[in-house]
Chain A
């Protein structure tokens, strides 16, 4: 059984590993090893179009992550801290819809709506669409944290000592919820940075994100430059997931505060 699972993990990682190896291969078209080189990586940094796609993607992911973090924080605060109100169940259900909605449907829906409304597809539209996809992730992260803080009743203590709700929020709740907000924002950043399908539909003609750039390069077949680029993207993902793991709230942590 251990062997079987190792094989399955091999299946998951084999293509990624192959890509890494051949990104260092000194051959243009072949998967035969011709010697070690870094020239494909160097070529990436001299490609102005690629660098601008990279900047666009970073800017987009940062914008979407910030929007999603703010929306998610406000929404989960109301869901957790406020006394139960009517329609809470409806909000709850609606907040999870972007997660289940097929991205193709989301993409063509937003595209149709914006075009019919006469709105020109621009960076703002794309960033807002990405924020929508990211929203469920931030809500999940922040909400879990707020629930565990609820049990420690630190906010109640602050208010017993004379703080207003606003003061308790700024001095107690917000700092304690911050790791979860950051963790949610990092997940959002990852989701937005790699999103292809939504961008494919919603990005106007002038906006080229990194995945869109890779896709258009792929149309011309496998090249070592794309290998190198994909490896960079993969490394960025590992970094983000690692950072997220550092910020994520562990279940046992809540009781320690």
Chain B
């Protein structure tokens, strides 16, 4: 047995914690330098002051946070919460029947449909939104069709409206709601529903009293997995919404790429991260209860 072989075997055998830490070191390096330190840096920066020409003045205070809640920016935060909430509710209402169908009715089509559901998600968000521009635009499919049919005299501006934003968000986040719902419905033992039928429950009663309560973990997981990413969404408004409907993600991007106010941008990002951590914390508490 050579020296190298022995060293590598020590590393792979993992009888000492040092070996485990060593194997995990490359991944940790990545996580620390590109995730932990940047996030920490943003939080520190969020207490600093913005100087002229984007210079950073190290005077610590809460002014950036105060500014985030002043009447100029508060609507953006509220709008973000509103859109995220509306998207979550819509995805849930639209997605529940789909998850139910996939679990109980789809039969041999189930796997194909599950993959089919994921494909728009795997295809670039950019491409998906671009294709909505073709459908919704002033010279787009819907307007052209309606004008030709004589239902309209002038094209409707669907794009750059709250409707388009909501449509884009629901389009993109629907799988995030459906998959956890599907997972929890799938886990449910079929015999419980059959027992309810045997005891004389109708379809609706069985659904309301048995299926729905048992799928509640999936409902909550789906809501969390939709709501939280929605809070940080950036591309939807960038493409389908426009500056009038800026959400938190766009405001953050603007501070870094255009306004060159990095401390304020950092404060906004810290708020976003606080929302994320808070949401996950609530979810974990609910899960344990």
Contact = CB atoms under 8 A, between A and B. Distances in A.
Interface of A: 1-2, 4-5, 8-9, 11-16, 18-19, 22, 29-32, 70-72, 74-75, 77-79, 81-83, 85-88, 91, 94-95, 97-98, 100-106, 108-113, 116, 128-129, 131-132, 135, 139, 164-167, 169, 190, 194, 196-197, 200-201, 211, 214-215, 218, 222, 226-227, 230, 233-234, 237-238, 241, 245
Contact of B9 (A112, A135, A165, A237): A165
A57 B233 CA distance: 23
Given A86-B17, A102-B273, 19 more contacts: A5-B97, A15-B135, A29-B139, A79-B24, A85-B21, A98-B31, A104-B234, A105-B232, A108-B256, A109-B269, A110-B34, A112-B262, A131-B30, A166-B5, A169-B12, A190-B122, A194-B123, A200-B253, A237-B119
Contact of A95 (B13, B31, B37, B45): B31
B126 A14 contact: no
Interface in B17-57: 17, 19-21, 23-24, 26-28, 30-31, 33-39, 41-42, 45
B101 interface: yes
B68 interface: no
A9 B27 CA distance: 38
A24 B116 CA distance: 24
A16 B26 contact: no
B17 A85 contact: yes
16 contacts: A12-B174, A30-B139, A74-B27, A78-B23, A91-B24, A98-B31, A101-B276, A104-B232, A108-B269, A109-B269, A110-B34, A129-B34, A132-B30, A196-B126, A200-B253, A237-B124
A135 B86 CA distance: 31
B144 A32 contact: yes
Contacts of B262: 112
Interface residues of B, number: 86
Nearest to A20: B131
B211 to A, nearest CB: 14
B96 to A, nearest CB: 11
B15 A94 contact: no
Nearest to B118: A241
A200 B262 CA distance: 16
A237 B123 contact: yes
B235 interface: yes
